[in-house]
Amino acid sequence: MKLTNKKFLVLCGVVLTACVFLGFKRDTRNFEITKNLDIFNSVFRELDICYVDTIDPESSIEAGINYMLSKLDPYTVYYPESKDEELKMMTTGKFAGIGSIIRFHKGKNHVVIDAPYEGMAAHKAGLKPGDVLLEIDGEDLTGKTTEKVSELLRGEPGTSFLLKYERPGVAEPQTVKIVRENIQTPAVPYYGMYKGKTGYIVLSSFFEGCSRDVRRAFIDLKEKGATSLILDLRSNPGGLMNEAVDILSMFIPKGTEVVSTKGKLKQASSVSKTTKEPLDLEIPIAVLVNGNSASASEIVAGALQDLDRAVIVGERTYGKGLVQVIRELPYGGSLKVTTSKYYIPSGRCVQAINYQKRSSDGQAERIPDSLTHVFHTAGGRIVRDGGGVTPDIKPEEVKLPTMLFYLANDDVLFDYATDYCLKHPTIATPEKFEVSDEEYAEFKERVKKADFKYDRESEKALKALREIAKVEGYTEEAKAEFDALEKKLTHNLDRDLDHFSKEIKMLIADEIIQRYYFQRGTIIQQLKDDKDVEKAYSTLTDLAAYKKILAPADTVAVK
């Protein structure tokens, strides 16, 4: 009995010591926070009183906050009241403006209309790609950047302004009154049937309500006879987690856990299960992803993979396994803060970058494949964490020539499409439209006359190799070989325009079709030569191959 009492007293002493220690640790942390906030406050007040120039308190404090947050992760962001609209657009996809992509035209030194959204204010006002924006409510726009012009175009819904613009082929400038309206970019810019009985849905973002759009698209495709489905999440940056769960509910049994979160606070930890009756538990599905598929896209792709419900096709995804919430701050500000990590059904987290570990130059480090961990799908297939979602099928990588990137951003292509539209009031449907050899010959001449310049990767590599050879003392010894190779790699615009004619014709067609059929038309055009979609289609139409991919692999030793 005495021994038991002694043990009890010892235990009480240990617990008391632990409580005192934890209380001391907490008090110390609170003191450190209070001390440093007081120091920061004192430094700013001294600067405000003593500094030789007047300090703007808002921009200075905001800069301090942003620097502090830069030491965390890129998703934890401070939004002062002045950037409230930017935050709303990010979470809902909605903003008030004219509904058009704009670009700066170097030759005209003005911003021009690039691509109006179908049915939005710019389109309804009759604006077309190529229109040069001259004035907004009398304010001259000469030389103004796209960011500045964008600020002037946006505003409260229902407000209006007078836009003066110049249209190619029209002698006098035009003036039109435009009423700003709420703009929401479509979450599902296109869906349709692909080669017979395969449904195809493009989901560009996980904004509020996107699951409803996907549901409607899928039901429509089923009614048209779809017996398999391609869900395209390529370059989808993510968005709302609940929308991802609702999309998963369409194809997974009700009550299935699809994602969980774990954070420091209790309210940051949660388990999400499908809550709706599924639309189809059997239809074969292929999900397209790439290196820009992130966040909610990875939840959908990863959960479907973990539950052996779909085949994933494409490139390894971005690897964003962090969850953010919006916290309100005083004076109308907001803080988007990372509060947890998310985990998909196998138990893995796809986060690829460790922001707590940084190199000597301050760059956060990517988790190496050697440090990732093995998990298993519902059927026993091996999957890994720590680096995004690795696809089940990786189509052969298509490497586009550097020239295409320069052409896509050059005024010569944009102006050619503008002039083409002046000559052609209508064109064939996107499915049938093609750039003829005669039209391409005309485009080639315009490119050559425009003195189009672009960097060639081969020339860059040769230059770098020369530098290395010089450092290592091989310049004279290898001079003849270098000179011969340089002669072969000499910039030849005419040759490149012929060599890459197929790819350039597709690029021209993209630009022209967009003018007549908007984003939907461009997607249809690009489907004509989409290797990822073709690979997904061939897999879905070969049920034996599809089932083999989803079947558990033979048990092997994993190191």
- CATH number at 241 reads 3.90.226.10
Encode pLDDT of 469-489 as tens digits.
676 666 677 676 656 665 555
Rounded Cα gap, residues 256 and 281, in angstroms: 12
Do 166 and 304 lie in one domain? The reply is no
Do 150 and 204 lie in one domain? The reply is no
Is 83 part of a structural domain of the chain? no
Q: Which residues pair with 324 in a beta bridge?
A: 338
Do 359 and 304 lie in one domain? The reply is yes
Q: Which residues pair with 259 in a beta bridge?
A: 272
Is 470 part of a structural domain of the chain? no
Encode pLDDT of 252-303 as tens digits.
999 999 999 999 888 889 999 999 999 999 999 999 999 999 999 999 999 9
Is 475 part of a structural domain of the chain? no
Rounded Cα gap, residues 194 and 284, in angstroms: 14
Is 27 part of a structural domain of the chain? no
Domain end: 122, 152, 184, which one?
184
Q: Are 376 and 305 in contact (CB under 8 A)?
A: no
**Is residue 346 pLDDT above 60, yes or no?**
yes
Q: How confident is the model at residue 83 (pLDDT cuts 50, 70, 90)?
A: confident
Do 374 and 323 lie in one domain? The reply is yes
Do 179 and 204 lie in one domain? The reply is no
Q: Are 516 and 426 in contact (CB under 8 A)?
A: yes
Residue from 167, 83, 160, 107 nearest 133 by CA: 167
> What element of type H or E holds 217?
helix 210-223
User: Which tokens sit at 268?
Assistant: 């940051």
For the segment 534-554, the average pLDDT, to the nearest whole number, is 92
Do 352 and 422 lie in one domain? The reply is no
Note the pTM of the prediction, 2 decimals.
0.84
Q: Which residues pair with 202 in a beta bridge?
A: 190, 232
Query: Which residue matches tokens 């000499």?
Result: 490
Q: What's the confidence (pLDDT) of residue 27?
A: 76
Rounded Cα gap, residues 451 and 444, in angstroms: 11
Chain CA centroid to CA 438, Å: 37
Do 157 and 291 lie in one domain? The reply is no
Q: What percent of the chain has pLDDT over 70?
A: 87
Report the CATH number that the domain containing residue 160 is assigned in CATH.
2.30.42.10
Q: Which residues pair with 313 in a beta bridge?
A: 288, 393
Chain CA centroid to CA 546, Å: 28
Which residues of 306-403 form beta strands (DSSP E)?
A: 311-314, 322-328, 334-343, 353-358, 364-366, 374-376, 382-384
C-alpha dist (Å) from residue 233 to 46, 308, 517: 52, 18, 22
Q: What's the confidence (pLDDT) of residue 557?
A: 43
Domain that holds residue 39: 33-71
DSSP assignment letter at 404: H
Determine phi and psi for 457, rounding to 5 degrees: -60, -35
Do 126 and 62 lie in one domain? The reply is no
For the segment 111-115, the average pLDDT, to the nearest whole number, is 95
DSSP assignment letter at 372: -
Query: Which residue matches tokens 């990137």?
Result: 405
Average pLDDT over the chain reads 88
Using the Cα atoms of residue 381, residue 384, residue 389 and residue 394 in order, give the sign of their dihedral: negative
Do 39 and 159 lie in one domain? The reply is no
Domain end: 355, 384, 413, which one?
384
Do 217 and 318 lie in one domain? The reply is yes
Q: What's the confidence (pLDDT) of residue 495?
A: 87
Q: What's the confidence (pLDDT) of residue 217?
A: 98
Lowest model confidence (mean pLDDT) among 486-490, 502-506, 515-519: 486-490
How many domains is the chain partitioned into structurally?
Answer: 4
Lowest model confidence (mean pLDDT) among 70-74, 428-432, 457-461, 493-497: 457-461
Do 104 and 207 lie in one domain? The reply is no
Rounded Cα gap, residues 50 and 69, in angstroms: 27
Encode pLDDT of 18-73 as tens digits.
555 555 566 788 888 899 899 998 999 998 899 899 999 888 989 999 999 988 99
Query: With 0-12 CB in 10 A as exposed, 13-18 as middle and 19+ as buried, what is 526?
Result: middle
Do 412 and 372 lie in one domain? The reply is no
**Is residue 86 pLDDT above 70, yes or no?**
yes
Residues acting as catalytic residues: 295, 306, 320
Is 440 part of a structural domain of the chain? yes
Is 432 part of a structural domain of the chain? yes
